[in-house]
């Protein structure tokens, strides 16, 4: 049995949601089979895993949290930094070991790393126990690949991304309260250090009508919060003729009336005044912006291909802070880009001291094969880069703590989503401006928004009690 070719399916469905694709019956083949999935990397990958889970369950699999119990292990991988590669191949060692005891175990590698030619070669040469490899452009072909697997390695990675195909709301969402909603795939920015435009392909926006319908569906099904997802959400719609822009999309989604709307990630380059006004205008567009800086040195920003100066960035930052009430801003920073001098690094510290971020994800630059930066000469030692990272983190953590301490005694609206990881007697959730709060309260409050009084603050979380 074969799945219909997806492009033909798209023609038939004339851009409508293609449910037909899922009416095929695999239930006998995979009935009673279990899958175990491990996800590395960004929210995009987490959401892709939700799609993979839904596909597998449609064809008869059920999920297990114990790898030893599974018939299929899926590793959904990230390629942004080298250490992600090491972690995945470290874990594959465990899978190989398990396969010695369980001969029929199917091992599957997918996601961004699977789009890297060097990784595919590594699998072919060194990791022959892996059964299936598929990339970010052909998740929907997984059921077919499972059927076709007859004791041979099945590599199916597409270098060219297809059109966006709507397959309905087919995700096994991890949460019943907060949902990821893809608004676009890929990225056209080609920052010189970044592998994403190569692994995830060119920017492809979903149609606004499909996004709006998905958000309506989520609201009707009790979701309180949605996060619009894209590598560069502000550029939404620019790749489709006659499509609305991101501000218009945000406004349309806000009008649906779901309680909380968030979005990640923004690029400072495409961030418009109109966007700031919409976030300020609607109560349900949350006052939280993740605004990656990457470097505070204009020389390095230019080498990174970021297309803004620190002056432009700070101007945008100030506008956001002035216009959006209570807004929190976080960022991403890379230290040790090729030949970053002490002076360049200190410029980054200066911007951090100006913006006093609520939080920052900080990384040591990691050369990725095939990106322009990977062939730049670099004389800075790893030790020096590690020292810089430590200096940066100390400053970043100091501001996170200071910003959090300012909230002690205030009442914050918290959407309680989970049992706290730190203390199983508590629930945890996020304030409107994305601060994690641990709250001692009744477990029945999961999925509700509560007024919480903040009683203590640390760099990465707050403690609170129900008002
Ligand atoms: N090395 C280190 N950090 C990187 N990032 C992206 N590519 C690299 C790289 N080659 C960081 C950026 C980006 C975040 C998701 O990962 O800061 O915003
Ligand atoms: Fe990578 Fe730059 Fe695109 Fe972000 S905007 S995904 S850093 S290329």
189 close to ligand 2 (CB < 6 Angstrom) = yes
Please list the alpha-helical segments (H only) found in 306-427.
310-323, 342-355, 382-405
Q: Which atom belonging to ligand 1 lies closest to the Cα atom of 80?
A: 7
Percent of the residues in the chain that have a pLDDT greater than 90, as a whole number: 78
pLDDT of residue 24: 54
Q: What is the mean pLDDT of the segment spanning 364-383?
A: 94
- The predicted pLDDT at position 190 comes to 95
Predicted local confidence at residue 149, as pLDDT: 62
Q: From atom 2 of ligand 1, which residue's Cα is the shortest distance away?
A: 365
- Report the range of poorest mean pLDDT among 31-35, 300-304, 356-360: 31-35
- The pLDDT of residue 333 is 98
Both tokens assigned to 290: 């993740």
Question: Mind listing the pLDDT tens digit for each residue in 46-84?
Answer: 999 999 999 899 888 999 999 999 999 999 999 999 888
- Per-residue pLDDT tens digits for 93-134: 999 999 999 999 999 999 999 988 888 888 888 898 999 998
Distance from the CA of 278 to the center of ligand 1, in angstroms?
29
Domain 291-405 has CATH 1.10.3720.10: no
C-alpha of residue 371 to centroid of ligand 1, in Å: 12
Q: What class is the 3-150 domain? A: alpha beta
Q: Which ligand is nearest to the CA of 304?
A: 2
The ligand 2 atom at the shortest distance from the C-alpha of residue 195 is 1
SS3 for 363? strand
Higher-scoring residue by pLDDT: 161, 316 = 316
Say if ligand 2 is within 6 A of residue 190 CB.
Answer: yes
Q: What is the DSSP string of 160-218?
A: S--------S----S-SSEEEEE-EES-S---TT--HHHHT-S-EEPPHHHHHHHHHHH
The finding on whether 234 has its CB within 6 A of some atom of ligand 2 is no
Dist CA 159 CA 167 (whole Å)? 21
Where does the pLDDT of residue 150 fall: very low under 50, low under 70, confident under 90, or very high at 90 and above? Answer: very low
What token pair was written down for 246?
A: 């991101």
- The residue among 13 and 381 whose pLDDT is bigger is 381
Report the alpha-carbon distance of residue 6 to residue 21 in Å, rounded.
8
Among the bound ligands, the one closest to the CA of 43: 1
Flag whether pLDDT at 151 surpasses 50.
no
CATH topology identical between 175-286 and 411-466: no
Q: Which of 4-13, 329-338, 423-432 has the lowest mean pLDDT?
A: 4-13
Q: What distance in angstroms lies between residue 264's CA and the mean position of ligand 1's atoms?
A: 15
Q: What is the mean pLDDT of residues 344-363?
A: 98
Residue nearest to atom 18 of ligand 1 (CA): 332
Give residue ranges with CB within 6 A of ligand 1.
80-81, 193-194, 292, 294, 332, 334, 363, 365-366, 368
Residue range 306-329: mean pLDDT, rounded? 97
Residue 26 pLDDT: 60
CA distance 295 to 297: 6
Give the per-residue pLDDT at 154.
65
Please check whether the domain covering 411-466 is classified as CATH 3.30.1360: no
Residues across the chain: 467
Q: Identify the DSSP state of 444.
A: G
Model confidence at 337, pLDDT cuts 50, 70, 90, reads very high
Distance 195 CA to ligand 1 centre (A): 9
Torsion angle of the four alpha carbons 420, 421, 422, 424, in this order, in degrees rounded to the nearest 10: 60
Taking the C-alpha atoms of residue 260 and residue 242, their distance in angstroms, rounded to an integer, is 27
Residue 4 pLDDT greater than 50, yes or no? no
Count the neighbouring beta carbons within 10 Å of the beta carbon of residue 307.
14
Range from 23-32, 397-406, 412-421 carrying the lowest mean pLDDT:
23-32
- Residue 3: the pLDDT is 30
Q: How many CB atoms lie within 10 A of CB 437?
A: 26
Residue 20 confidence (pLDDT): 43
The domains of the chain are located at 3-150, 175-286, 291-405, 411-466
The values of phi and psi at residue 274, to 5°, are -55, -40
| pLDDT at residue 166, rounded to an integer | 67
Residue 172 scores a pLDDT above 80 = yes
The rounded mean pLDDT for the chain is 90
The answer to whether the beta carbons of residues 430 and 419 sit under 8 Å apart is no
The finding on whether 187 has its CB within 6 A of some atom of ligand 2 is yes
Which ligand 2 atom is the nearest neighbour of the CA of 306?
A: 2
Higher pLDDT, 84 or 317: 317
Percentages of the chain per state (helix, strand, coil), in multiples of 5: 40, 20, 40
- Atom number, ligand 1, closest to the C-alpha of residue 333: 17
- b/e per residue, 362-371, with b = 16+ CB within 10 A? bbbbbebeeb
Q: Assess whether pLDDT exceeds 50 at residue 187.
A: yes
4 vs 348 pLDDT, higher one = 348
Distance CA 446, CA 101 (A): 41
Q: Distance between CA atoms of 399 and 405, rounded to whole angstroms?
A: 10
CA of 79 to the centre of ligand 1 (A): 10
Instruction: Give the per-residue pLDDT at 27.
Output: 58
Alpha carbon nearest to ligand 2 atom 2, residue:
191
The arithmetic mean of pLDDT across residues 428-453, rounded, is 96
- Pocket flag, ligand 2, residue 268 (CB < 6 Å): no
State residue 381's pLDDT score.
95
Summarize pLDDT for 194-236 with one digit per residue, the tens. Answer: 999 999 999 999 999 999 999 999 999 999 999 999 999 999 9
Class of domain 175-286: alpha beta
Looking at the predicted structure, is the pLDDT value of residue 1 above 50? no
pLDDT tens for 14-23 read: 333 443 445 5
Closest ligand to Cα 42: 1
Q: Which ligand is nearest to the CA of 292?
A: 1
DSSP letter for each residue of 33-94 = -EEEEEE-SSHHHHHHHHHHHHHHHHTT-EE-S-GGG-SEEEEEE--SSHHHHHHHHHHHHH
Task: Give the whole-number percent of the chain exceeding pLDDT 70.
Answer: 91
**DSSP code, position 370:** T
Please give the Cα distance from 259 to 286 (Å, whole number): 9
Q: What is the pTM of this model?
A: 0.91
12 has pLDDT over 80: no
Ligand nearest to the CA of 348: 1
What is the pLDDT, as a whole number, of residue 422?
Answer: 84
């Amino acid at each position: 049995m074969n799945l219909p070719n997806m492009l033909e399916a798209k023609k038939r469905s004339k851009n409508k949601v293609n449910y037909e694709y899922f009416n095929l019956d695999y239930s006998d083949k995979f009935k009673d089979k279990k899958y175990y999935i491990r996800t590395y990397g960004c929210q995009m990958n987490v959401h892709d895993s939700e799609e993979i889970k839904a596909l597998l369950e449609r064809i008869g699999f059920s999920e297990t949290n114990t790898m030893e119990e599974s018939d299929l292990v899926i590793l959904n991988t990230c390629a942004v930094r080298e250490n992600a590669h090491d972690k995945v191949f470290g874990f594959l060692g465990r899978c190989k070991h398990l396969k010695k005891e369980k001969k029929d175990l199917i091992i599957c590698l997918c996601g961004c790393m699977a789009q890297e030619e060097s990784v595919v070669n590594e699998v072919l040469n060194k990791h022959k126990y892996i059964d299936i490899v598929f990339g970010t452009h052909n998740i929907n072909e997984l059921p077919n690949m499972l059927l076709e697997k007859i004791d041979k390695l099945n590599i199916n990675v597409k270098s060219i991304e297809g059109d966006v195909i709507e397959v309905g709301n087919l995700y096994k969402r991890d949460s019943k309260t907060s949902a990821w909603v893809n608004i676009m795939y890929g990225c056209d920015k080609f920052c010189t250090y970044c592998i994403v435009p190569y692994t995830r392909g060119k920017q492809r926006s979903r149609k606004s009508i499909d996004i709006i319908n998905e958000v309506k569906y989520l609201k009707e099904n009790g979701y309180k919060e949605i996060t619009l997802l894209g590598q560069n959400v502000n550029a939404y719609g620019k790749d489709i003729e006659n499509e609305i822009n991101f501000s218009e999309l945000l406004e349309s989604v806000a009008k649906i009336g779901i309680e909380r709307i968030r979005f990640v990630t923004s690029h400072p380059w495409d961030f418009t005044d109109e966007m700031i006004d919409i976030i300020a205008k609607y109560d349900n567009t949350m006052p939280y912006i993740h605004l990656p800086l990457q470097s505070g040195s204009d020389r390095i920003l230019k080498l990174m291909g970021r297309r803004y100066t620190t002056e432009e960035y700070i101007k945008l930052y100030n506008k956001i802070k002035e216009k959006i009430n209570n807004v929190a801003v976080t960022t991403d920073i890379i230290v040790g880009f090729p030949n970053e001098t002490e002076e360049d690094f200190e410029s980054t510290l200066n911007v951090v001291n100006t913006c006093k971020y609520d939080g920052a994800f900080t990384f040591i630059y990691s050369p990725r094969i095939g990106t322009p930066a990977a062939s730049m000469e670099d004389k800075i030692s790893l030790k020096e880069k590690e020292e810089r990272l430590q200096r940066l983190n100390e400053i970043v953590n100091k501001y996170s703590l200071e910003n959090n301490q300012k909230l002690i005694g205030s009442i914050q609206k918290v959407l309680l989503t989970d049992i706290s990881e730190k203390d199983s007697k508590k629930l945890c959730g996020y304030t409107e401006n994305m601060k994690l709060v641990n709250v001692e309260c009744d477990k029945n409050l999961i999925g509700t928004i509560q007024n919480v009084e903040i009683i203590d603050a640390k760099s990465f979380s707050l403690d609170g009690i129900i008002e």
